[in-house]
């Protein structure tokens, strides 16, 4: 089963809740706009990956298997490993980009702005989940 797609969906859900909370407080600044852009990009990547998998499944359905191959019912994967890796890479890129964006919002070693500190803590947790998902994919713990 997939490890990167559930993580991507969870990140999107968290980001949408963050956007909603920030908009309720009339915080329409760089942080909110950046998070909105991240959600849009994440959805685009997920849609593209799922469309490729749908096309692949259609092609496999149209091609009958050779007669000498045993017809075992294979457990179809939601997405193949390459798509999983691309999704993890996309998740990592978004964490890196958002971290850079947060870094530009303060000077010095420590952030004092509570918005920035809160976002950095969320990014830290997100990074740990991405690391775990990559490990699970590499060790095939998701099977």
**DSSP string for residues in 35-52:** HHHHHHHHHHHHHHHHHH
Task: Provide the b/e sequence for 4-40 (b: ≥16 CB within 10 Å).
Answer: bbebbeebbeebeebbeebeeeeeeeebbebbbebbe
pLDDT score, position 49: 85
Q: What is the pLDDT of residue 57?
A: 82
Taking each continuous run of H as one helix and of E as one strand, the counts in the chain are: 4, 0
pLDDT, greater one: 126 or 86: 126
> pLDDT band for position 78 (50/70/90)?
low
Burial of 130 (0-12, 13-18, 19+ CB in 10 A): buried
Q: What is the pLDDT of residue 1?
A: 54
Which of 10-19, 28-37, 79-88 is predicted least confidently? 79-88
| Residue-range domain boundaries for the chain | 4-138
Q: What percent of the chain has pLDDT over 90?
A: 42
Cβ neighbours around 46 below 10 Å, total: 19
Burial of residue 109 (CB within 10 Å: 0-12, 13-18, 19+) is: exposed
């Amino acid at each position: 089963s997939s490890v990167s797609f559930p993580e991507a969906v969870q990140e999107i859900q968290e980001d949408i809740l963050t956007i909603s909370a920030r908009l309720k407080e009339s915080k329409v600044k760089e942080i909110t706009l950046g998070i909105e852009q991240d959600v849009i990009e994440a959805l685009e990547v997920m849609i593209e990956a799922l469309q490729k998998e749908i096309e692949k499944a259609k092609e496999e359905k149209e091609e009958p298997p050779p007669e000498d191959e045993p017809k075992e019912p294979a457990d179809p994967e939601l997405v193949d490993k390459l798509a999983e890796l691309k999704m993890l890479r996309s998740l990592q890129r978004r964490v890196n980009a958002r971290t850079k964006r947060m870094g530009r919002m303060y000077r010095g070693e420590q952030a004092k702005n509570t918005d920035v500190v809160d976002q950095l803590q969320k990014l830290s947790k997100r990074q740990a989940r991405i690391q775990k998902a990559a490990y699970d994919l590499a060790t095939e713990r998701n099977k």
